[in-house]
């Protein structure tokens, strides 16, 4: 395992300890509904702090782009992109589908990626050019060739300012075209599942770089493709992402291309 990946794994496992401890306090959270966001913020922040601390100890000159603390770039060309707790709504409800996502970008190119699922103790990882793994098992995208037989993952808009009606049209369109559509609520894990062949494809819009960065490297290292709804670049900036094995990716683009909001 690449030394930088090793440090990222250590950081993810430390964050998981904080998240697992907090998950035992969910009853406190259920009783005191008014404060539930404070509780989650506290958990997110503590998890993010331990990740940044672990990475900074090893690499004091690296920069960070993290969900809670934003950009701390340190004028570095090495930027760690971090989501300390992806799937917060699931976490609040004790629904065991959330993850820690950490990626390293060097001069704008993703080089290392870790997604850790503390509930299943599954560690997805990749180094550029070195393949993708879950624990020690090599990952390959599924070999499904027809969209009509494919299981596709997605995520719904969850903020007031997002266009739910537009999304429902896309949802209906894709539901008619594929074998099943799933939306468990943690994009990083959904992307890891594409790499693992558990999904044949995935799409979502309005995502942030920290939701996508680690998953995209893991998918490409597992032989998959990632792009926007037209199958083009620029998805990390636009937040509109589509992923799958090459055959399914092309067929998804035929369905989703017309819904793309990313300017050509």
Residues contributing to the annotated binding site: 67, 83, 85-86, 211
- Edge to edge, the sheet with strand 109-117 lists 70-72, 63-66, 78-86, 99-106, 109-117, 122-127, 132-134, 137-138
Instruction: Please enumerate in sequence order all residues whose Cβ is within 8 A of that of 50, keeping only pairs 6 or more positions apart, or say none.
Output: 11, 14, 15, 18
Cα–Cα distance measured from residue 242 to residue 258, given in angstroms and rounded to the nearest whole number: 13
User: Which residue do the tokens 């799937």 mark?
Assistant: 87
Q: Tell me if residue 28 falls in helix, strand or coil.
A: helix
* CA quadruple 142, 147, 149, 155: dihedral, nearest 10: 80
Residues recorded for the chain:
264
Q: Tell me if residue 118 falls in helix, strand or coil.
A: coil
Residue stretches of the annotated binding site for Mg(2+): 67, 83, 85-86, 211
Phi-psi region of 94 (alpha: psi -120 to 50; beta: other; left: phi over 0): left
Cα–Cα distance measured from residue 150 to residue 25, given in angstroms and rounded to the nearest whole number: 38
């Amino acid at each position: 395992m690449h030394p930088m990946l090793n440090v990222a794994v250590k950081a993810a496992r430390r964050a998981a300890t904080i998240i697992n401890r907090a998950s035992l306090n969910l009853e406190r959270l259920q009783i005191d509904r008014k404060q539930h966001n404070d509780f989650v913020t506290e958990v997110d922040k503590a998890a993010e702090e331990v990740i940044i601390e672990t990475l900074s100890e090893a690499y004091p000159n690296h920069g960070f782009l993290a969900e809670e603390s934003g950009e701390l770039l340190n004028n570095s060309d090495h930027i760690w992109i971090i989501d300390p707790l992806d799937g917060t709504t699931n976490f609040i409800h004790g629904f065991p589908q959330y993850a820690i996502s950490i990626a390293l970008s060097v001069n704008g190119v993703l080089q290392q990626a870790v997604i850790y699922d503390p509930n299943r103790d599954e560690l997805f990882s990749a180094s550029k050019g070195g393949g993708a793994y879950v624990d020690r098992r090599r990952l390959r995208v599924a070999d499904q060739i027809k969209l009509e037989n494919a299981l596709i993952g997605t995520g719904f808009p969850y903020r007031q300012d997002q266009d739910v009606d537009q999304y429902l049209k896309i949802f209906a369109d894709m539901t008619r075209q594929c074998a099943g559509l799933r939306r468990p609520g943690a994009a990083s894990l959904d992307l890891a599942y594409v790499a693992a062949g558990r999904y044949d494809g995935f799409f979502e819009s309005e995502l942030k770089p920290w939701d996508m960065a680690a998953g995209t490297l893991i998918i490409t290292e597992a032989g998959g493709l990632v792009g926007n709804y037209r199958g083009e670049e620029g998805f990390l900036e636009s937040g509109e992402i589509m992923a799958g094995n090459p055959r399914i990716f092309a067929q998804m683009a035929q369905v989703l291309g017309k819904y793309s909001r990313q300017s050509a």
